[in-house]
Amino acid sequence: MNSDSTTPSLSAGEQELAQASTGLVDTDTFVDPELAALCRESAADGAVLLRNDETLPLRESARVALFGRVQIDYFAVGYGSGGDVNAPYSWNLLDALRDGGRVTVDAELAATYTRWCEENPPDEGTWANWPRYFEEMPLEREAVRATAARTDVAVVVIGRAAGEARENTLDKGSYYLTDDERALLDSVTAEFVHTVVVLDCGNVIDLAWLEEYGDKISSVLYAWQGGMEGARAIADVLTGVRVPGGRLTDTIARHYADYPSAPNFGGLEHNVYAEDIYVGYRYFETFAPDAVLFPFGFGLGYSTLDVAATADVGDEDVTVTARVSNAGTEHPGAEVVQVYVRAPDGQLGKPARSLATVAKSRQLAPGESETLHLTFPIASLASYDDSGVTGHRSAYVLEAGEYTVFVGTDVRSATEVASFALGELRVVEQLSEACAPAIENAFQRMTLDRDDAGRAVVGWEDVPTRQASRRERIQGRQVPALEPTGDQDIMLGDVAEGAATLDAFIAQLSHEDLEALTRGDLVMDSPLGAPGNAGVFGGITASLRAKGVPPITTTDGPSGIRLSAYASLLPCGAALASTWNAPLVRRLAARHGAEMVRKGTHVLLSPGMNIHRDPLCGRNFEYFSEDPLVTGLIAAAVVAGVQEAGVAACPKHFACNNQETNRNLNDSRVSERALREIYLRGFQICLTQARPHTLMTSYNKINGVWSHYNDELCTRILREEWDFEGTVITDWWMQRAVDPDFPAVSDDAYRVRAQVDVFMPGGWLDHASGTFDATAASSLLDSLARPDGITLGEVQRTARTVLELVLALPTLGEEIATRSREVRSRT
């Protein structure tokens, strides 16, 4: 590495500590009141009411018995980079209900829990070994009976957490209830007429036990993890100050084994995505409707909202007009209008229903109505033919046949409002093969068959395998180089002011300057950025800073700014997505972006937007949904909001980071059709609608190629098909590898050729041995010196992308000008 790099080498242990904890170096606990209010509103709007016999909302002055230690040791967020934020405060449910003052919390029971929790504090664990649950307080039946005699209703709080490098497991205390939790529920439901269960969880957990208890459990509220204001939001919902506005963004199946991913999740070496496009409700509604406990899109409110819908089918678009009316007499409410389409089976096979568009009404008072207009292009219903069975390989096609439009408030209850027929197959977009499975890793994928009665049954077929020559593709690309000019005394400020071109600035850069622009400042918590930063890139060397290039500071993350400073702790991704309320999420993200500016960071490593392929994935709390449309729409809202403040959002992890187990080495083996229709579509929607400045690759391989070396993913699809012009960065550290088609290209050169611009944080971490090396020479300069290595044009292309990011961020504009003035004054 360059001798003027500013940071020392760290040991593996020191580096792990830097990732695991940001510490604190300041005392500024200020939180923007508007941001806090939006956190509270969003957490309530994302809370999903799964069952209610009118016990909720709790009547004013009700006497409430609060059970479960999580009422005090509340899970505000999940673990790892998506949750490790120094929040200035965080409410628990006991304090929130007391503070609200609308109900009377039983003081004797609360004192018992408080005393026991103080005497038995939870073990917070260490990085990747955090507790998934907290041991429950023993409680005799007599104590429960005595509490029931002096109170009106019981609220039982059950909590779970998982996170980065910390998968959920099929164990009691993770996916399943513990014996103590079951005993608590047995006692409470036996003694109380009204029992409310609050699920303080980031992931979907087993809920089959709800059927066992039946009407003994009056109400069930999925609270998710709502951040620092989450418990206050849930107190608001329980007491009727706010209504539960959430709808499920995942199917909750009766048993884990019912999920189609279950046989192929958690593999150490690889996971075969054998279920193909039949993820979540696409599988259940097609093949196994009886396995569903709560359907995708489901959620109750405190009032009855009626939806009356019609549809107008045009040549290119379908427009649904839906009138939402609050037919209740006491409570306000909002409804999520969901539009699904059933496409004809054709040659490709289709799910029974796929979400086509969605809109949420405003909050309607009793007797009030609102008319929504939802339009979607017919072309968006196209399926990707990765086998050529339709006669159009590597193309999005609309097959001939009948298309049926359904409208409702969840995937199961949606009813038919229109249908239309296509007389012949229509090619929507002709593309070319990208990221197809290698023939040596071929597998069988799920497909749609029908029995003699016409019922859908699971069939299996060989997955189409790779045909295109990657070597020929890369050889066919020509990246022209700028003729090096040597130092021309051009400052980046000159480019910003229009006094010089960016080409002229880049042409004067040395190979060492160019190389430095392709990586971060070696380690996390770089002294060039705000203390506790995730890493810094851009002006990381004295040479670049002398030319006016400022450092760019990156920070996690989806639930808050992760620095050695206090920062707001936001609702988790699952909670935000459950709002189905993109405008609200955008307003929250905009205030979050303003906090970034105050804290001195430029790129937020957010949103996390991988698909909920399986309920055991530890980072599902960070991610949004099993559905790519919901994922894309909510992610676009986050990006657009953050970037309103003049900083950058960085969607992640591109792509198929659908498990944490052995994530650095695991191979996601997936058909090209499923990759495009399920796992990439959300990214495409986000990039198209919000145009993020940056994007982060994932750790895992995709069909044998690590995403940070995957030119078909990051060049062919991302840049050539989707026209992405931003900066692509790696997830933190990457794996060493030699390009199988070009042996003189390896590691950083291999990555830059794929147009993965910046290696973060810049130093090499050997995951197998645990050793960390921040001083190893870059392979990029070695490859650049070889005639068969990476070309100067390719490296200049990456430098341009990074510098365009620097110039595009308004928050860096003044720093660019100031650096230029200071250098000019000295010389």
| Crossing angle (nearest 10°) for helices 33-46 and 582-599 | 150
Which residue among the candidates 250, 731, 747, 757 is catalytic per the annotation?
731
How do strand 354-360 and strand 336-342 relate by DSSP bridges? antiparallel
Asked if 756 and 714 count as a contact pair (C-beta separation under 8 A), the reply is yes
Q: How far apart are CA 65 and CA 139, in angstroms?
A: 13
Q: Judging by beta carbons within 10 Å of its beta carbon (0-12, 13-18, 19+), is residue 158 exposed, middle or buried?
A: buried
Phi, psi dihedral angles at 793 (to 5 degrees): -60, -40
| Crossing angle (nearest 10°) for helices 628-644 and 582-599 | 40
Asked if 683 and 691 count as a contact pair (C-beta separation under 8 A), the reply is no
Compute, in degrees rounded to 10, the torsion defined by CA atoms 677, 683, 686, 689. Answer: -60
Q: How far apart are CA 218 and CA 346, in angstroms?
A: 45
Q: Which amino acid is at 643?
A: Q
3-state secondary structure of 692: coil
Residue 731 is among the residues annotated as catalytic for this protein: yes
3-state secondary structure of 449: strand
Q: Judging by beta carbons within 10 Å of its beta carbon (0-12, 13-18, 19+), is residue 155 exposed, middle or buried?
A: buried
- What DSSP element (H or E) covers 253? strand 252-253
Q: How far apart are CA 299 and CA 47, in angstroms?
A: 9
Report which of 640, 638, 608 is spatially closest to residue 625, judged by C-alpha positions: 608
HSE (side-chain half, CA atoms, 13 Å) at 476: 7
Structure tokens at 679: 């796992």
Report which of 173, 91, 178, 172 is spatially closest to residue 131, judged by C-alpha positions: 173
Structure tokens at 114: 């408080």
Asked if 671 and 386 count as a contact pair (C-beta separation under 8 A), the reply is yes
Phi, psi dihedral angles at 68 (to 5 degrees): 100, 130
Q: How far apart are CA 322 and CA 372, in angstroms?
A: 5
Q: CA gyration radius for the chain?
A: 27
Q: How far apart are CA 260 and CA 489, in angstroms?
A: 61
Q: How far apart are CA 786 and CA 781, in angstroms?
A: 9
Angle CA 20–22–26, to nearest 5: 165
- What DSSP element (H or E) covers 199? strand 195-200
DSSP 408-473: ESSTTT-EEEEEEEESS-EEEEE----SPPPGGG--EEEEEEE-TT--EEEEEEEPP---S-HHHH
As separate numbers, helices (DSSP H) first and strands (DSSP E) second, the chain gives 24, 32
SS3 letters across 224-236:
CCCHHHHHHHHHH
Report which of 313, 258, 314 is spatially closest to residue 281, judged by C-alpha positions: 258
In the chain the first and final C-alpha atoms are separated, in Å, by 27
Q: How far apart are CA 639 and CA 585, in angstroms?
A: 10
Q: How far apart are CA 711 and CA 731, in angstroms?
A: 16
Q: How far apart are CA 72 and CA 66, in angstroms?
A: 10
Report which of 428, 352, 420, 440 is spatially closest to residue 390, judged by C-alpha positions: 428
Q: How far is CA 437 from the centre of its chain?
A: 25
Whether residue 359 has a cis bond before it, omega within 30° of 0: no
Q: Which residue has the tokens 């949606």?
A: 414
- What DSSP element (H or E) covers 556? strand 551-556
Cite the active site residues.
Answer: 731
